[in-house]
Amino acid sequence: MGGNLFSVLFSTIKSKFASIVSKLRLWLSWNFIKTRIIGGIRDFFFKLLDVRPKDKHDYYSVFGWLISKKLAYAIVIIVGVLSIWYISVTTSIFSSLTKSAGMQTYKYNSILLRLASSRVQILGKSGYLAYEGDVAKGYATGQGTLYSPDTTMVYQGAFVKNKFEGEGTDYFKSGTSHYRGTFHDNLYEGAGKLFREDGSQEYDGEFHLGYKEGAGKLYDPSGSLIYEGNFSSDNIIYSELLGKNVEEIRKMYSGRQILYEQDPELGTDSVVYMPDINALYLGISDESAADDSNKADTVYVLSDSFQSGSKKADDIAELKEIFGEPIYEGNSSIELPEAVAVNILNSYEPALNGRVDMDTTEVFSDDIIVHSFDENYMVYVYSFKRGGLVYSFICKGEGSWFSFYGIKAVEDANEAN
């Protein structure tokens, strides 16, 4: 009797809670939850895409056009969702397809490259490997190697935002090193070394804005030191030789030299030709010196161009842009060092008015005595003054191109170039 009563009571309670349990099971089932979520998202997008304005407050006014606010919101959200989906999908696909030797590979104009911050490979416009190395925010930054379309190395070293910056090496097209040293903004800057294409060292010293600038050393193709001094705009500062005696000059210039001595009956002046730096100097005896040694009075540079900073002059008009008007111009009979210079130039190709007649005796191959020369040989001279120096440019005639130039210190000099 008691058992039947308990069963009846349990059945009654069970029937009361059965509907609640059924509802709980339904609410907690994954299908119900998924259906509600999908339904909620569907309802959200139905409402979002119901862009029909209800009144004037549902519009944006843009340049006189009325645009539904709901439409604008819908476009922003849809674009955002599609962008996230595109980046996530393409990144995974691109990563699996473009890895090479454990390194990501990108095209030079890839949007995904802007997101990379690692060691990568970058392909140029035609598909060649243009860069291999570190990148940050799409820029070559760190250590890397730049290649040309024909696969030869252009540069290897440090980069900052796609520019050569720091220690690095650039190369000839043949693949041999051209420069090793520091760079700034793609240009040689600071200490570095220049090499010839055959691998021999040409220069070791300081650079500025891509030029030899400051203290440096020049070497011949065999590797022997030929000159040590200061440079400006890739050129030797020849005026540094002025006033120095033979021994002092030999400490600076250790290359080959040829001595042209005047016949003792004509005087004690001498001309020293320095072929390795394309220059010669007139040595004049300094009677005030204890050793009565010859000192460089004038230096002649055997070049038909003149460099001043970033400006280069190849004719008289361009020289006037650098110096202003000349302090002297006119015909002049030739002097001994100028005669030597003219004949040296004519040994390579016709220059000025041809060779100067000269009576000489060759004591040794590098020691020549000059007995006489044609002092009626005429040249046209333009002289300019700058600082404490006078630059004299030797021409064939008025207004023509110059063939070489001389540098001489003036007595009232307060400055040196």
50-63 pLDDT, tens digit per residue, is 556 556 566 666 66
Q: What is the pLDDT of residue 210?
A: 95
Backbone φ and ψ for 243, nearest 5 degrees, come out as: 80, -5
Q: Which CATH number fits domain 101-252: 2.40.50.140, 1.10.3110.10, 1.10.10.10, 2.20.110.10?
A: 2.20.110.10
Q: What is the pLDDT of residue 158?
A: 98
Q: What is the pLDDT of residue 177?
A: 97
Q: Which helix (H) or strand (E) holds 218?
A: strand 211-219
- Is 306 within 8 Å of 313 (Cβ atoms)? yes
Positions of the chain with pLDDT lower than 50, given as ranges: 92-97, 413-417
Residue 93: Cβ within 10 Å count: 10
Q: What is the pLDDT of residue 285?
A: 81
Q: What is the pLDDT of residue 416?
A: 39
Strand-pairing partners, residue 389, are 386, 409
Tokens 């069970």: give the residue: 14
Q: What is the pLDDT of residue 415?
A: 42
Q: What is the pLDDT of residue 97?
A: 45
**35 three-state secondary structure:** helix
- Angle between helix 30-49 and helix 2-28 axes, rounded to 10 deg: 40
Whether the full predicted model's pTM is greater than 0.75, yes or no, is no
- Is 260 within 8 Å of 270 (Cβ atoms)? yes
Predicted confidence (pLDDT) per residue in 368-392, tens digit: 999 999 999 999 999 999 999 999 9
**Structure token digits, residue 87:** 């980046």
Where do the structural domains in the chain lie, given as residue ranges?
44-100, 101-252, 253-417
Distance CA 350, CA 376 (A): 19
Q: Residue 368: which of 239, 280, 248, 298 has the closest Cα? A: 280
Q: Residue 106: which of 88, 83, 90 has the closest Cα? A: 90
Q: Tell me how many helices (H) and strands (E) the chain has.
A: 6, 27
